[in-house]
Structure 1
């Protein structure tokens, strides 16, 4: 016998789960600007706002990873034998035929789940390339939020059978 309250689940409203992720590599590089002047200047923390992914977004990223291989083949046909053109086309999209499917999925996940600042795929690729630890930090937070699911807005049941006391 399951104790899952299906009726309450069906009535519940859900809200995306979000959190702020400080990124030490981008901060140290000065991409958040500086507080103060001269030798006393300190880097301003770079913080990205991320959210959990939906099942549809997870599936779309899976499909996009498969499509990136197809896209590489299409680019080859469009460019003929000119491998430089193919490479340039794929690099412009942030992908190439050597990009592992797992990385292509992770790039798509991060691009979809970063709420602020809004990133293009090319931005995510540059972060992953230049600051791989920050990229991993973002993806780990996104997967953690995704695993927790959305925040359910449900009314809590009273904890006991006693009635509430009257105001004095």
Structure 2
């Protein structure tokens, strides 16, 4: 016998689960700016807002990782003698021939799930390259939120048998 309340589940409204993620590397790099002046200046913390992914987004990232290998071949054919330029462009997008499929997926996941600031795939690739620990922190938090699912907006049942008091 299942205790799953299917009726409540069907009625529930869902919203993405979000979280702020402080990024130490980007903060230390001064990409949040500085407060104070001279030797007293302190870096302003860089914080990205991320959310959990949907099943559709997880599947699309898988597909994009598969398509990245195909894009490399197509670009080489289209570029002809300019294959090096095409390869450099694809490498810059994190879609190079030597990009591991797992990394291509993770790049897509981070690009999809960062709510603020909105990032292009080039931005995500650059963060991954320059600040790999920050990139891993973002992806880790995204996967944690994804695993927790969306936030359900459900009405809670009363906890006891006590009736609400009436106004005097």
Pair in the same fold by TM > 0.5:
yes
TM-score by length of 2: 0.96
Aligned match of 1:102 = 102
**8 A Cα contact 1:15 1:151, kept in partner:** yes
1:108-146 C-alpha deviation (Å, 9 max, x unpaired): 000000000000000000000000000000000000011
Distance 1:49 1:85 in 2: 34
- TM-align CA RMSD: 1.2
Bigger drift between 47-56 and 81-90 goes to 81-90
1:24-82 C-alpha deviation (Å, 9 max, x unpaired): 00000000000000000000000000000000000000000000000011111112254
**3-state SS in 1 of match to 2:50:** strand
Distance 1:103 1:89 in 2: 17
**8 A Cα contact 1:75 1:89, kept in partner:** no
Q: CA deviation at 1:164?
A: 2.3
Report how many residues are paired.
168
**3-state SS in 2 of match to 1:163:** coil
**8 A Cα contact 2:21 2:47, kept in partner:** yes
Q: CA deviation at 1:96?
A: 0.2
Distance 1:163 1:30 in 2: 57
Distance 1:62 1:95 in 2: 13
Correspondence 1:121 to 2:126: no
Aligned match of 1:14 = 14
Q: CA deviation at 1:159?
A: 1.0
Aligned match of 1:77 = 77
Distance 1:9 1:48 in 2: 31
Runs of 5+ unmatched residues, structure 2: none
Distance 1:136 1:59 in 2: 20
Distance 1:12 1:37 in 2: 51
**3-state SS in 1 of match to 2:68:** helix
TM-score by length of 1: 0.96
